[in-house]
Amino acid sequence: MSEQQSLAPEDVPRANGMPMLGLGTWQNDDPTDCARSVETALNMGYRHIDTAQIYGNEEAVGEGIANADVDREDVFLATKVWTDNLAYDDVIESTEESLEKLGVESVDLLYVHWPSGEYSPEETLRAFDELYDEGRIDRIGVSNFQPEHVETAVEYTEAPVFANQVELHPLLPQEELREACAEHDVEVVAYSPLARGEVFDVPELEEIADEHGVSAAQVSLAWLREKGVTAIPKATSEDHIDDNWDSLRLELEPEDVERIDAIDRTDRQVDPDFAPW
């Protein structure tokens, strides 16, 4: 862990109560490693943990939360309903299974993972509203939604749509989508915020990192924070979890942000056949 004075959980800025730096767990499917990384992150100061049904690690995530020296009510926990489970009854049933695996009574945020498969705005979001009314979920989220999908979701939910989780990083800035979310008061959460490692090969990011004496990962995460975007970088080793955490110390200069904005690339890392774009 960093030799500098440790950052406290309260050092993490929040977006409507959601910590703006969290731990992503995609592909963290070894149960022991997953539980350990969640426990490590929480003991370090993280208070936002993100998982999904399709990741196959909800039980391990729950174990990590239980093992950490942190009260459950202090953890912002999010999971996602997979495309096969988006019919009304399946949303209800699969979410109850997720809660059981996670070992919790409720989650802070439940996402529609993709507007694909069995997704129906009317039926899917009616189930989400019911779970919200019953106190099983505290917030409704969507993921991989394009502007038109966000607008439709807002129309069909009685409870507010809290967040849209999408791939977002300096090589895929998603400006139009961010603007659309802002119009509907929907927070933006960035998965793959380091472009699956591609940020380490971008000269502009490396130059800014060198100037500040930090990593390109920290520069990318600080840039997202400057844009009002919550980031959930995946990390399994303590070194990577710590490096991402230290991004909270970094304050980019306006000219740094301008240089990153000028990169002008659209390198999408996640592009399955069922994607809505």
Is 191 considered catalytic here? Answer: no
| Number of CB atoms found within 10 A of residue 252's CB | 18
Q: What are phi and psi of 191, to 5 degrees?
A: -95, 160
How many Å apart are CA 4 and CA 200, to the nearest integer?
24
Q: Which residue has the tokens 């927070």?
A: 187
How many Å apart are CA 208 and CA 215, to the nearest integer?
9
Which of 141, 154, 249 lies closest to 189, judged by CA? 141
Q: Which tokens go with 231?
A: 């980031």
CA quadruple 68, 70, 73, 77: dihedral, nearest 10: -40
User: In the chain, how long is the greatest CA-to-CA distance?
Assistant: 54
Candidates 55, 111, 132, 191; catalytic one: 55
- Look at phi and psi of residue 214 and say left if phi exceeds 0, alpha if psi is from -120 to 50, else beta: beta
Active site residues: 55
